[in-house]
Amino acid sequence: MTGSTCSAGYVGLTFDDGPNASTTNQIISTLRQYGATAAVFPTGQNAQNNATLMQAYKNAGFQIGNHSWDHPHLVQQSQSQVQSQLSRTQQAIQQTAGVTPTVFRPPYGETNATVSSVASSLGLRVVTWDVDSTDWNNASAASIRQAATRLTDGQTILLHDWPAATVQALPGILQDLRSRNLCTGHISAGTGRVVAPAGSGGGTTPPPTTPPPTGGGGGSCTATATKGQEWGDRFNVTYAVRASGSWAVTVYPNTGQSIQSSWGATRNGTTFTGSGNASFGVTYYKGSQNITWVPTGICSPR
């Protein structure tokens, strides 16, 4: 990034809905050429289906956020559906890119109290955007580039990892930012504003996830998952629950995984109930995709 001073601050180029085989590599290559970075918000489904491109995001030093599993209107979903959408995506990103997102961009920018509280329980800050490039609505490369000129220090622009016009607009956007002494940065999970990427040189990863905040009233609980014995087609996981009262822990197996059996707690589907400090175990089938990751257990007081 020779000759660039960043004296006007940092802005966030954010790319939603990737990764995919047609545009992701081009976007990475252009950003690298300009010594720039980005925040990407893949869906969990795309992450799972494009593990190599998720690694490419990571290796490029991009910040990787959560964008739900398959892009529904979350405000029309129940709390457990929202929880599944976000939790499965956290797991898919962890499995493919090896990082734990700390920011969540709701599809369509739609959020409500349920979405906020589920995001918060997973250590995710909900972030939208300051400038909409409207690249999702067939905007031309010229108008996408024009939109980016409205960015000021700390702000983000909504872009997508799929429109051809976005790929075409990117070099011009980066030239314009450079001439305005603006650099590209990452979104602070603390403030929601864009800041310099942690660690200079661009090879950064999001900070490690913070423990989920505990619920305000009526007690709290946590469930810690530990992988146990493994066989060819299945494996055990033990969940250690710390709670002051009655609790319910919901587990989120990945696509293809399923519960074979469990012990130590009352089970109803993927939810286990009990009381006080306790532990229970689950045997998961790996399924046809041979998935051995350990499903998260989300604990709620009840």
Query: Of the residues 17, 67, 160, 186, which is catalytic?
Result: 160
Which x/- pattern, by CB under 5 A, does the window 166-205 give for Zn ion?
Answer: ----------------------------------------
Q: Chain centroid to CA 95: how far?
A: 12
- Containing 299, the helix (H) or strand (E) segment is strand 297-301
Nearer to Zn ion, 111 or 300 (CB): 111
Nearer to Zn ion, 34 or 136 (CB): 136
Window contacting Zn ion (CB under 5 A); options: 100-108, 193-201, 220-228, 287-295: 100-108
β-pair partners for 268:
271
**With contact defined as beta carbons under 8 Å apart, do 128 and 106 qualify?**
yes
Query: Of the residues 16, 17, 135, 161, which is catalytic?
Result: 16
DSSP per residue, 246-270: EEEEEE-PPTT-EEEEEESSEEETT
Q: Which of 10, 17, 38, 253 is close enough to bind Zn ion by CB under 5 A? A: 17
Tokens of 64: 């990787």
Tell me the C-alpha distance between 253 and 297, whole Å.
9
Amino acid present at 276: G
Window contacting Zn ion (CB under 5 A); options: 99-107, 145-153, 222-230, 257-265: 99-107
What is the dihedral sign for C-alpha 20, 22, 28, 31?
negative
> Which residue carries 């989920």 as its tokens?
212
β-pair partners for 257:
none
Contacts to Zn ion from residues 105-144, by CB under 5 A? 107
Which x/- pattern, by CB under 5 A, does the window 242-271 give for Zn ion?
Answer: ------------------------------
Window contacting Zn ion (CB under 5 A); options: 15-23, 54-62, 73-81, 183-191: 15-23
Nearer to Zn ion, 16 or 135 (CB): 16
Window contacting Zn ion (CB under 5 A); options: 12-20, 55-63, 90-98, 172-180: 12-20
Tell me the C-alpha distance between 195 and 149, whole Å.
18
- Whether 160 sits among the annotated catalytic residues: the reply is yes
Total of chain residues touching Zn ion, rule CB under 5 A:
3
Rounded to a whole number of angstroms, the minimum distance from the CB of residue 107 to Zn ion is: 5
Amino acid present at 86: L
Q: Quick one: three-class SS letters along 16-49?
A: ECCCCCCCHHHHHHHHHHCCCCCEEECCHHHHHH
For Zn ion, which residue has the nearest CB? 16
Nearer to Zn ion, 57 or 247 (CB): 57
Rounded to a whole number of angstroms, the minimum distance from the CB of residue 74 to Zn ion is: 11
Q: Which of 10, 16, 165, 280 is close enough to bind Zn ion by CB under 5 A? A: 16
Tell me the C-alpha distance between 280 and 266, whole Å.
9
The catalytic residue positions are 16, 160
Q: Which residues bind Zn ion (CB under 5 A)?
A: 16-17, 107
